[in-house]
């Protein structure tokens, strides 16, 4: 079997999920080619697992100061280049196309009638899961941005649908440093983040940001983007302040970290993520960079820990079997590995999801 794997390059969550899959593919000797889009080629990092991957411009959104800029997003879309990339991408050598919300490979698969499977968090929103702030245009975007034959969603709970849990790589155990807070707000202004954090001199903030380099100012330790460095700080921090991306939130609740989320304004997926984790009692939220919310978060107690599977081999086995239109047994097998804290299980039952 030969697989083409298309991955959305905007943000790091899609890449993190693909990296876990790539390690499994490499270990099992599966022949996989990778295509990324949505980010400039010189902005990728820690991509060794993907070998000689290709990069296309694709389509992405533009944001500033924590808010999606619709006009700037539309202005940067180059439809001519996009359709040229779609039409020039030859899929004849592949048995199936995997897709994590990547539009070039998705549309190439549709035009060439090639079997395609969406494995993404976005695919979960094709089902009636908790949603917040989704407009008609958002639902159309989900439907047409990266179409697929099979939609295998990834979420923190299945909500009774064809949705699988996230895979989280094992982390080495490390004692929490109670005054250490990890901050990842890549869509916010770094100056505004700094103004918020320096007011809390009793805490040490480790702030990763696309505009930062490695240095320290007062109690804020700025860090350039680095997966290895980020994971080290993630393991021993007491809590995390972040936008509401799916993968980091998944890692946080897997490690039992306290979590304060500020969704990217105008991005319904992040609003829905924050809403869902707040509903489950696994995070608190703020609509803006709000000191009162930070105060309450820093004074909070321990959070619950959710056990997710770490080995995507069942997915690879399912792909090899070729019964792609019947993923129910795969989904059931994976959810048997998930363990929720008692308080989360109780909430799911009260909400009639348990």
Please determine whether the domains at 2-167+310-350 and 177-298 fall in the same fold group of CATH. yes
Helix (H) or strand (E) holding 258: strand 258-261
**pLDDT, tens digit (0-9, with 9 covering 90-100), for 7-58:** 999 878 899 999 999 999 999 999 999 999 988 888 888 899 999 999 998 7
Residue 264 DSSP label: P
Domain positions in the chain are 2-167+310-350, 177-298
Specify the length of the chain in residues. 354
Distance of CA 136 to the CA centre of its chain: 23
Alpha-helical regions (H) of 198-226: none
**pLDDT, tens digit (0-9, with 9 covering 90-100), for 205-264:** 999 999 999 999 999 999 999 888 999 999 999 999 999 999 999 999 999 999 999 998
The CATH class of the 2-167+310-350 domain is alpha beta
Position 64 scores a pLDDT of: 56
Position 71 scores a pLDDT of: 47
CB-CB contact of 22 with 40 (8 Å): no
pLDDT: which is higher, 74 or 38: 38
For domain 177-298, the CATH architecture is 3-Layer(aba) Sandwich (3.40)
DSSP string, 157-189: S-TTSSEEPPP---------EEEEEEEE-TTS-
């Amino acid at each position: 079997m030969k697989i083409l794997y298309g991955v959305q390059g905007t943000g790091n969550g899609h890449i993190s999920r693909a990296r876990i899959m790539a390690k499994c593919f490499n270990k099992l000797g599966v022949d996989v080619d990778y295509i990324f889009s949505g980010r400039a080629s010189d902005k990728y990092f820690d991509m060794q697992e993907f070998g000689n991957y290709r990069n296309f411009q694709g389509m992405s959104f533009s944001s500033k100061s924590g808010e999606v800029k619709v006009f700037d997003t539309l202005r940067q879309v180059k439809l001519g280049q996009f359709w040229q990339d779609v039409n020039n991408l030859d899929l004849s050598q592949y048995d199936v196309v995997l897709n994590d919300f990547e539009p070039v490979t998705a549309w190439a698969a549709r035009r060439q009638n090639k079997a395609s499977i969406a494995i993404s968090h976005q695919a979960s929103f094709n089902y009636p899961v908790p949603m917040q702030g989704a407009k008609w245009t958002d639902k159309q975007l989900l439907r047409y941005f990266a179409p697929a034959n099979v939609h295998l969603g990834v979420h923190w709970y299945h909500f009774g649908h064809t949705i699988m849990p996230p895979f989280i790589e094992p982390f080495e155990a490390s004692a929490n440093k109670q005054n250490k807070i990890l901050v990842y707000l890549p869509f916010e202004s770094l100056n505004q983040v700094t103004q918020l954090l320096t007011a809390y001199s009793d805490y040490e903030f480790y702030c990763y940001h696309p505009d930062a380099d490695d240095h320290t100012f007062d109690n804020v330790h700025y860090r350039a983007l680095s997966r290895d460095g980020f994971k080290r700080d993630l393991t021993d921090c007491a809590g995390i302040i972040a936008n509401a991306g799916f993968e980091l939130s998944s890692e946080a609740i897997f490690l039992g970290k306290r979590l304060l989320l500020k969704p990217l304004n105008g991005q319904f997926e992040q609003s829905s993520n924050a809403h869902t984790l707040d509903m489950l009692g696994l995070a608190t939220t703020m609509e803006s960079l709000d000191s009162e919310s930070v105060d309450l978060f820093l004074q909070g107690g321990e959070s619950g820990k959710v056990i997710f599977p770490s080995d995507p081999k069942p997915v690879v086995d399912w792909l090899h079997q070729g019964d792609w239109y019947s993923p129910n047994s795969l989904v059931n097998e994976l959810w048997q590995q998930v363990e929720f804290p008692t308080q989360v299980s109780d909430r799911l039952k009260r909400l009639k999801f348990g």
